[in-house]
Amino acid sequence: MNNIPAKHWPSAIGLTYAEGLFTAYYRYMTDDETQARLTALEARIEFQEETIRQLNDALVVQQQRYFTIDRTLALLVKRLQGEAFDSADLKNEPPPPHY
């Protein structure tokens, strides 16, 4: 295909099988078909790029939420460790009034 100009490249390659032999066939695209395919591909690429941008934005928001939750959890663990108490302290306390 290197000797064939790009505008004459085949649009489809197929195979047929008959009597133990495979035969390749193809047809050449017209300029209108080439332009239509190129336009369709450009539209798909633009849609995919927009989707990637939206997914990236959503990922950034999720990462920020994760980091906030992670910091909050670390602070809570630190606070709970600081308020750790000995079980012997509970034995010396009187029972609550509802007992």
HEC sequence for 41-87: HHHHHHHHHHHHHHHHHHHHHHHHHHHHHHHHHHHHHHHHHHCCCCH
Residue 45 token pair: 């690429």
pLDDT, tens digit, 9 for 90 and up, residues 19-31: 777 777 677 778 8
pLDDT, tens digit, 9 for 90 and up, residues 81-96: 877 655 556 667 777 7
Instruction: Check if the beta carbon of residue 45 is closer than 8 Å to that of residue 54.
Output: no
Statement: residue 34 has pLDDT above 70? yes
Domain ranges of the chain: 6-83
Q: How far apart are CA 4 and CA 50, in angstroms?
A: 35
Query: Span 50-68, mean pLDDT?
Result: 98
How does residue 1 score in pLDDT terms, banded at 50, 70 and 90?
very low
